[in-house]
Amino acid sequence: MAVGLKYGWSLLAALPLSAWAGVLLQNAQWRVELEPATLAVSVEPAGDVKRTVSDGVAPQAVSALQQTGETAGWQWDDGRYRWQAVLDGPDLRLTLQARAPGRLELLRQPAAAMGRGLLLPLAEGSYIPAGSKLWQDFLPGFAGDGLDTSENLSLPLWGMDYGSRSLHWLLLNPFNNQLAFAAQGQGLALTLSHEFNALNQDQPVTLLLHLSDGNLLGGAQRYRQWLVSAGRYQTLADKIQRQPETAKLVGASHVYLWGNNLLDASDVRDWPAFLKLLRGDAALAVQLRARFDTAARQALRQAGAKPDRYQQKVLIEAVNQALTAEARASWLGPKPDWAKMAEPYRALRAQTAQTFGPALQADASRWGGGLSRKTVDALQSAGLKRLWLGVDNWEGGLWQPQAVKAGVAAGYLMSSYDSYETALQPGKHEDWITAQQGEAVYRQCGITLANGKKKAGFQQSGYYTNPACVRDTLQQRTSALLSATGFNSWFLDAYATGMVFDDYTPGRRTGEAAMAQGYEQSMQWVADRYQLPVGSEMGNATTSRGIAFAHGMQVPVLGWGDPDLQRNPKSPYYLGRWFPADQPETFFKPVPLKQPYRDLYYGPEYRLPLYQAVFHGSVITTNHWLYDNLKFRNAYADNLLAQWLYNVPPLFHLSAASLRARLPQLQCADRAFRPLHQQLATQALTGFAWLNAEHTLQQTRFADGSRLTANFGSTPVSNGGQTLPPQSLLAELAGQAPRLLRAADCAGK
């Protein structure tokens, strides 16, 4: 029995509980039936069939059921929980409030409800077709006990494709939720649960079910609209006005530079003289030799007047490591003095010039490897006018401030990785320099779990930290570093991943929502204080304010626990070692990508621009830094075409040794991407369509009327009177002549 508009409260009050079988809410667009005891939900759009989108959870005792027009309310468990349902045009809003802690299942969506396919924002976005064995085998295991809707989903939503219609669930409170998956018949069923705890029980949970036409981006666009109305949306144009350096992101390819120490092997112009000085009695030479490991001491002992290439590499690396250890010894400890951190690097640079200068290149301002004036000059000479150039930690800027200055003068954004999310005990893992934040931060800022234990940090080292507690350290250290190095961009690792925790530390108890705000406040502080663009990892919606760019959204970390990728050097899929320091294999070694990851993360038929539908024109995103454009040989073309289609930057790794070989592909990617992004960077992505049954012909549309059409297929395809060659993109920018781009033109050798 459905209790609808024709029933009054007096009748409802008189009905026994068993009669309260359902609530009917309806308007001209659709009918929604709810079962208050289980929150089972069925919907029937006007002119369409009825569908059950939730089978309902375990029955709860219902009381105080009321309905007025298109609003209904009721209680569970004698008022411990209170539901309100509101139908407003194409939106059904379900709000749950709690008076006590507890974990509740909210929805049980049957496999049949996914329709033709499930729309899931795993990073940029995935389209999961009904009946796909690939996804049925992968997703339940990947999700484990459930996906955290703040961390594991880039947007707190999912959707169902019904052809001419689609439905989309939006989680307006994205925290403390789990979304679990199970194979069911030919589809995937899912379950949503929420935990009310002592830190968040005063925060209601709101589920918004949005009815759309066949637009697969309908839910993402509705979420964008909600962000705007809630005052949580910042456009890229606003960020450029607020931090003018952000304008340099428009049209910029993203590049990480490796080899960020003081010296490169090419800086030694006279090896016999260099070896003699290194073996000599000068104070610096003695200090450096004392820090050499066995391999370096052996190389120094055995090297002839003209050491071979291996010996040169070992010796230069040993010198650089020893110099860095000497510099760190001056400031690294229980109470780092951030304001004095840069001085030992300057002093050691001068000592190196004094001690070894006769054997080195005369112009010390050009010393260095990947991060050097030599690299900046080469990039300029190659015609690359817009680049974001990042280094893996800020010590590179302390050794090479003149290279940073040259990059800024060239019009580039010069940036460094920095991190405050994990704090290490002083003396532990000292090479993980960004996590060395001093004894007080380690002792005082670790997150306390509900059981009273501290939350172990990244890779079970140290502790994850509360952003409010470490903010003073962040402000002091970034101030010292930016002043000393001259970087005009900054990368705060992990703060935008959506990975948040409940912190039960007495005196600063912080729920997940407040912690997310803490991350955003820290990123915004750096952006505002130094008027520069800040980036972070991923860029998840729940932690996206304060950033202008993010690395990891297009292709996220994949296969993390797979031994073929991570631990087995004999596997053809092994990503490589984190060595040598100036060109780590894991970043530079091209490999094929193992299935199923190849299709799950790069297959065009499974990709959907959900994140771009919300944040294009707000946050500029790239692949994760683990997987640059050249990493996976069997995904190169699909990756490049997706970047063009979604209008996101390419990502490259460069070192001194790889620069010449990799530069042509970077130049080609730049020529293709830069003109598109210069017109579209500030435009919203307003549409997406598959133009053939195979989903290999795809089109994105933008607010200014521009269209980008990609043929991912291996054969030519005709569309709108034009033929697109295999693996090509037709760019039809508003006010410009059409332009054809071919992935093969940028394939390199």
pLDDT in tens, 589-616: 999 999 999 999 999 999 999 999 999 9
Q: How far is CA 416 from the centre of its chain?
A: 16
**pLDDT above 70 for 145:** yes
**CA atoms in the 13 A half-sphere facing the CB of 32:** 29
Q: How far is CA 316 from the centre of its chain?
A: 35
DSSP element (H, E) containing 26: strand 23-26
**pLDDT above 50 for 13:** no
**pLDDT above 90 for 15:** no
Output the pLDDT for position 11: 35
d(CA 714, CA 719) in angstroms, rounded, equals 15
> At 3, is the pLDDT very low, low, confident or very high (cuts 50, 70, 90)?
very low
> At 254, is the pLDDT very low, low, confident or very high (cuts 50, 70, 90)?
very high
Q: Which residues pair with 91 in a beta bridge?
A: 88, 210
Task: Kindly give the pairing relationship between strand 91-98 and strand 205-213.
Answer: antiparallel
Output the pLDDT for position 306: 86
Angle between helices 636-646 and 659-680 (to 10 degrees): 30
d(CA 248, CA 245) in angstroms, rounded, equals 6
| Domain spanning 237-260+368-421+465-690, CATH architecture | Alpha-Beta Barrel (3.20)
Burial of 210 (0-12, 13-18, 19+ CB in 10 A): buried
SS (H, E, C) 485-524: HCCCEEEECCCCCCCCCCECCCCCCECHHHHHHHHHHHHH
DSSP string, 400-466: -HHHHHHHHHTT-EEEEEE--SEEPPTTSSTT-GGG---HHHHHHSBPBPTTS-B-B-GGG-SEEB-
**CA atoms in the 13 A half-sphere facing the CB of 180:** 12
Q: Do domains 23-229 and 237-260+368-421+465-690 have the same CATH topology?
A: no
DSSP string, 119-133: EE-STT-EEEETT-H
**pLDDT above 60 for 663:** yes
Torsion sign, CA atoms 656, 660, 666, 670: positive
**pLDDT above 50 for 524:** yes
Q: How is residue 186 annotated by DSSP?
A: T
Instruction: Compute how many other C-beta atoms are within 10 angstroms of the C-beta atom of residue 105.
Output: 16
CA distances from 610 to 120, 123, 261, 702 (A): 8, 9, 40, 14
Q: What is the mean pLDDT of residues 436-445?
A: 97
Residue 389: phi, psi to the nearest 5?
Answer: -115, 115
Question: For 131-144, what is each residue's pLDDT tens digit?
Answer: 999 999 999 999 98
Please give the structure tokens belonging to residue 527: 């952006």
Interacting residues of 501 by C-beta distance below 8 A, sequence separation 6+: 447, 449, 455, 464, 512, 515
Q: What is the mean pLDDT of residues 733-738?
A: 96
Q: What is the mean pLDDT of residues 682-698?
A: 97
**pLDDT above 80 for 4:** no
Please give the structure tokens belonging to residue 216: 């697969």
Interacting residues of 475 by C-beta distance below 8 A, sequence separation 6+: 525, 529
Q: Which residues pair with 229 in a beta bridge?
A: none
d(CA 474, CA 529) in angstroms, rounded, equals 12
Place of tokens 């989108």: 53
Burial of 462 (0-12, 13-18, 19+ CB in 10 A): buried
CA distances from 384 to 114, 372, 627, 666 (A): 46, 16, 22, 9
Contact at 8 Å (CB) between 655 and 618? no
Q: Which residues pair with 491 in a beta bridge?
A: 417, 535
Q: What is the mean pLDDT of residues 538-558?
A: 97
Query: Whole-angstrom distance between the N-terminal and C-terminal Cα of the chain?
Result: 69
Q: What is the mean pLDDT of residues 461-489?
A: 97
Q: Which residues pair with 268 in a beta bridge?
A: 360
Output the pLDDT for position 748: 64
SS (H, E, C) 618-670: CCEEECCCCCCCCCEHHHHHHHHHHHHHHCCCCEEEEECCCHHHHHHHHHHHH
> At 61, is the pLDDT very low, low, confident or very high (cuts 50, 70, 90)?
very high
Q: State the virtual CA torsion across 388, 391, 392, 394 in degrees, nearest 10.
A: -120
d(CA 91, CA 30) in angstroms, rounded, equals 10
**pLDDT above 90 for 7:** no
Burial of 662 (0-12, 13-18, 19+ CB in 10 A): buried
Instruction: Compute how many other C-beta atoms are within 10 angstroms of the C-beta atom of residue 263.
Output: 25
Output the pLDDT for position 635: 98
- Write down the domain spans for the chain: 23-229, 237-260+368-421+465-690, 265-359, 697-746
> At 749, is the pLDDT very low, low, confident or very high (cuts 50, 70, 90)?
low
Question: For 336-355, what is each residue's pLDDT tens digit?
Answer: 999 999 999 999 999 999 99
Output the pLDDT for position 214: 95
Interacting residues of 158 by C-beta distance below 8 A, sequence separation 6+: 118, 119, 120, 121, 168, 169, 179, 190, 219
Q: Which of 154, 164, 165, 148 is nearest to 210 (CA)?
A: 165
Listed in order, strand segments (DSSP E) in 110-251 are: 117-120, 126-129, 147-148, 157-161, 165-171, 177-184, 187-196, 205-213
Contact at 8 Å (CB) between 647 and 684? no
DSSP string, 241-288: HHSGGGGGGTT-EEEEEE--SS--GGGBS-HHHHHHHHTS--HHHHHH
**pLDDT above 90 for 720:** no
Place of tokens 């499930």: 118
Output the pLDDT for position 702: 98
CA distances from 519 to 446, 515, 523, 568, 653 (A): 15, 6, 6, 36, 28
d(CA 404, CA 447) in angstroms, rounded, equals 36
Instruction: Compute how many other C-beta atoms are within 10 angstroms of the C-beta atom of residue 271.
Output: 18
Contact at 8 Å (CB) between 619 and 534? no
d(CA 96, CA 91) in angstroms, rounded, equals 16
Contact at 8 Å (CB) between 155 and 148? no
Q: What is the mean pLDDT of residues 97-111?
A: 97
> At 165, is the pLDDT very low, low, confident or very high (cuts 50, 70, 90)?
very high
**pLDDT above 70 for 121:** yes
Q: What is the mean pLDDT of residues 555-576?
A: 96
The amino acid at residue 214 is G
**pLDDT above 90 for 305:** no
d(CA 28, CA 329) in angstroms, rounded, equals 72
Q: What is the mean pLDDT of residues 108-114?
A: 97
Please give the structure tokens belonging to residue 148: 């955290």
Output the pLDDT for position 6: 30
Output the pLDDT for position 730: 97
**pLDDT above 90 for 507:** yes
Percent of the chain at pLDDT above 90? 95
23-229 fold: Beta-galactosidase; Chain A, domain 5 (2.70.98)
**pLDDT above 70 for 18:** no
Q: State the virtual CA torsion across 560, 561, 566, 568 in degrees, nearest 10.
A: -160
Helix (H/G/I), strand (E/B), else coil: 39: coil
Q: What is the mean pLDDT of residues 671-696?
A: 97
Question: For 617-659, what is each residue's pLDDT tens digit?
Answer: 999 999 999 999 999 999 999 999 999 999 999 999 999 999 9
Please give the structure tokens belonging to residue 62: 């219902």
Task: Kindly give the pairing relationship between strand 651-655 and strand 253-258.
Answer: parallel
Instruction: Compute how many other C-beta atoms are within 10 angstroms of the C-beta atom of residue 544.
Output: 28
d(CA 411, CA 416) in angstroms, rounded, equals 16
What mean pLDDT value characterizes the chain? 95
For the full predicted model, state whether its pTM sits above 0.85.
yes
Q: Which of 157, 193, 175, 205 is nearest to 503 (CA)?
A: 175
Interacting residues of 526 by C-beta distance below 8 A, sequence separation 6+: 474, 478, 490, 492, 532, 534, 546
Place of tokens 């610096």: 284
